[in-house]
Amino acid sequence: MILNKPEPPTEERLRAELEGSPVARAVCAAVETAVEPFEITTEGVGIEIRGSSFLPNGLPNRARIKIFSPTPGHTLVFFYKKSLVPYSRDRYSYGGIDLRTTEVAQAEVSEWLAFINSGLHPDKRPTNLRRAFPFEIPE
């Protein structure tokens, strides 16, 4: 479920971002029907979703997935956590996937969401994840 879907900025964001990105559409559709709670971020480049559940250790889930297209024909799926320190601009990468097609299998999206829901646990890394992901990632 998307916790903040009814909010106008979220609706506007989804309208703007999903139109040109079949991958983002597939992910958002899967998130919407998921049992676990997610939130859509309304700032920055591309579509960004964060897990909103609590992890087994009692801490809030900080996992995020960012989907954006740096150049035509490339969709990057980037997994990361934001810094806990309010002023820090740092981002903690867990790697990403460079999709060179607009098609994405449902099973692959499920892997991504499981990774997010685990808090980006190493045991849940998606099959195609490239941990060394040397792309400039915009905020």
Partner 1 sequence: MPPTTPATPSEQLSSGTTYHGITHPLNPCELEIDLFCKGMRVDPSCALEQDARFISRTRAGLGSGLEIVIPGPIKDVWVNVPVEEDFAQQSRYRLVLESGAYSVRDDCKGFRYPVRIPPEPAWYTRTTSRGTPMHKVGVLQGTYLGIYISNSCGFWYHSPALNCRFCATGLNVGVNEVAIKDVGDVVEVARAAKEESGVTFVHFNSGFQTDRDLDVAAPYVKAVKSRVGALVGLQLIPSLDLWKYDRLIDLGADHFSFCYEFQNPEFFAKLLPGKEKLVGQKTFFRALEYTARKLGKGACSGEIIAGVEPVEDTIKAIDYITGLGAFPTVCIFRPTIGADMEHWASPRYEDMLVVFRHLYEACRKNRIPIDVTPNIEVSLIVQPGDTRYLAPRNWRTRWYGTQMGLARQIARPYFWWKRRPKSITASEVLSP
Taking alpha carbons only, the member of 2, 70, 96 closest to residue 41 is 2
Q: Is 8 in the site for partner 1 (CB under 8 A)?
A: no
- Select the residue interacting with partner 1 from 15, 71, 85, 105 (CB under 8 A): 85
Residue 89 CB, shortest distance to partner 1, in Å, is 6
99 contacts 76 by C-beta, under 8 angstroms: yes
Q: Looking at 21, 47, 61, 80, which residue binds partner 1 (CB under 8 A)?
A: 80
3-state secondary structure of 7: coil
Identify any residues that bridge with 8 across adjacent strands, giving them in sequence order: none
CB of 62 to partner 1, least distance (A): 9
Q: Which residue intervals of 4-87 are DSSP H helices?
A: 8-18, 22-33
Shortest approach of partner 1 to residue 95 CB, angstroms? 7
Is 58 a binding residue for partner 1 by CB under 8 A? The answer is: yes
Give least dist CB 139 to partner 1, A: 11
Does residue 90 touch partner 1 according to CB under 8 A?
yes
80 with 66: CB under 8 angstroms? yes
Distance of CA 133 to the CA centre of its chain: 15
Residues that bind partner 1 (CB under 8 A): 57-59, 80-81, 83-95, 120-122, 131-137
